[in-house]
Amino acid sequence: MVILLLALLAAVCPVLALPTIEAKGSKLFTSDGAQFYLKGIAYQLTPDDPLADTSQCKLDSALMKTLGANSIRVYHVEPQLDHDGCMSAFSDAGIYAWIDLGSYTGKNTPLYGGNPQWTKSKYQAYQKVMDTFHDYDNVAGFFVGNEMLTTGPDSKAAPFYKAAARDMKAYRDKKSYRKIPIGYSAADITALRPNLQNYMACGSNSSEALDFYSLNAYSWCGDSSYEQSGYNMLQLNASDYNIPIFMSETGCNLVKPRNFDDQSALFGPDMADSWSGSVVYEWIEETNNYGIVSYGAPADPTATGDGVYEGYTRTGTPTPISPDFENLSSQWATLSPKGVSADAYTPTISPPACPAFTSGMWEMSGNVPLPTIGAKGTDYTTALPSASADGSGTSTSASSAASSTRASSIAVSRRNMESFWPKVGKWTREHPAAWYGLVVAGFFIMGVVVV
């Protein structure tokens, strides 16, 4: 009888294959108390949901385990599909999923087409994703947006993302789901740094702040260094940050092969106390040349058929691309920061001050009221104060703020252009060598003119 009861319990109660992930202070921890660092890979084989093909997930997760990955970042899922097989496959490989709540195409994100909005339909779309994935123990976190704020004037849309996080946290808690961390993935834009980062965590009401913040940064290229890449400045901005921060994309490909030396900095003594790891871009090789695996030789760009998209086969057995795959695996194999146990850690860092108004760079002042569900465009943004009125910030000038910014590397310049003009950015990704040549030629011409 006892054996029968145990068998029935096993059938109806899911086994906790992996400890869950939670945010505490400025760090991430597993439910068994160990500090967690992401060793992640961006995983989006096609614009379709990559977590709905069990056979493919089993093949990919097995090789990711060999790589040393413990996380994947997924940009688009379709909540109506069955994800049990894929989530189980990744769980068996010790891999967590960090999932965007919005659509890969941007249709369900709070900022779309340049018009900030947080509507009921978008809120409901986010709910469907959370409802579908909350019960998987290896869901580590949700993103409310990715790289949607790319200029100083875009800062007026930041409250929409913060509102999305607030409302999704409230929905999570109302439904008694576990406290899966909710955050935002930001483009590394000089004009917005560190104002956006600080804004997403500022304020005395923790229910309105993000659970984590992440950055897509491509400034460490080839044989760069902690100082040359600007990672020292990223660390300076993160050293007193009160919520977890990690790289949600990294892996500059302007210099081939990639050596992934930035991982030594992120997981080493310079940054590991402040940063919670990184996600390398990306798993599959395609036109942009960021992949570390392929599924066969490139196909004709006009070819269509099973598993072929935009000239690349995207199904089947993944094959490591040498030496990039081995280089990343070797880096991660030697990098295992011990961190601190959850029981021994008491958060002491206070939220940052909400950024002050800076014309052309940060066009809000202090801790502005967040929009409610249904808010759209200028109905909200035109009501924002342009200078401090509540004592929470002090207006500054763009010239004084600009004097404190550092010179960006060629890689950051390319990423910033990508954010300003998506079509130009797509070309730079697909033709990195040509882009590099144009930048170098530009500097040469500028030098000639100056002389």
Just list the catalytic residues: 147, 249
- CA distance linking residue 245 with residue 274, whole number of Å: 7
Region for 400 from its dihedrals, namely left if φ exceeds 0, alpha if ψ lies in -120 to 50, beta otherwise = alpha
Find out whether 26 and 241 touch, Cβ atoms under 8 Å.
Answer: yes
Instruction: Write the CA distances from 282 to 97, 278, 286, integer angstroms.
Output: 14, 12, 10
350: its two tokens: 């206070």
DSSP assignment letter at 396 = B
Q: What is the CA radius of gyration of the chain?
A: 22
Strand order in the sheet with 111-112: 111-112, 115-118, 375-376
Instruction: Write the CA distances from 341 to 28, 31, 42, 152, 240, integer angstroms.
Output: 10, 11, 28, 39, 19
- CA distance linking residue 316 with residue 56, whole number of Å: 7
Strand partners, 320: 293
DSSP per-residue codes, 194-230 = THHHHHTT-SS-GGGS-SEEEEE-----SS--TTTTT
Letter string b/e over residues 355-394, b meaning 16 or more CB atoms within 10 A of that residue's CB: bbbbbebbbbbbbbebbeeebeeeebbeeeeeebeeebbe
